[in-house]
Amino acid sequence: SQTIHQWPATLVQPVGSPLSLECTVEGTSNPNLYWYRQAAGRGLQLLFYSVGIGQISSEVPQNLSASRPQDRQFILSSKKLLLSDSGFYLCAIGASYNEQFFGPGTRLTVL
């Protein structure tokens, strides 16, 4: 079965600092991977998705970027965090019939 790991679990960062969130998956190869953000009281917003190594599609223009250096590794980054970047960041894996399964998430607070 597939397992999704995300770290760190929680993070508190000052405005203007860099960010790196990591997602790794086990139990599958060549998965479709997704980064979502869930802001307080709001729905899930798709940020990036990847269908393979080095292939990244961006859904929302912003100060975030994503990379996929290995088949089962997906990284979300920022050079300078904004207050509005606070939220719950979720990595998801795509399965048959477009089902998506989520990792445990990273809660980011930007102060």
The Cα–Cα gap between 34 and 49 comes to 4
Residue 74 binding another protein, by CB under 8 A: no
Q: Which lies closer to another protein via its Cβ, residue 15 or residue 60? A: 60
Nearer to another protein, 75 or 90 (CB): 90
Q: Which of 42, 79, 80, 84 binds another protein (CB under 8 A)?
A: 42
Interface with another protein (CB under 8 A), residue from 65, 67, 71, 94? 94
Interface with another protein includes 98 (CB under 8 A)? Answer: yes
39 close to 83: Cβ distance less than 8 angstroms: no
Query: Interface with another protein includes 100 (CB under 8 A)?
Result: yes
Q: Does 35 bind another protein (CB under 8 A)?
A: no
Contact of 66 with 59, CB cutoff 8 Å: no
The answer to whether the peptide bond before residue 18 is cis (omega within 30 degrees of 0) is: no
Cβ atoms of residues 92 and 100 within 8 Å: yes
Measured from the CB atom, the residue of 77 and 88 that comes closer to another protein is 88
Query: Is the peptide bond between 8 and the residue preceding it cis, with omega within 30 degrees of 0?
Result: yes
Alpha-carbon gap, residue 32 to 53, rounded angstroms: 10
Residues in the site for another protein, rule: CB under 8 A?
32, 42-44, 46, 49, 51, 59, 88, 90, 94, 97-105, 107
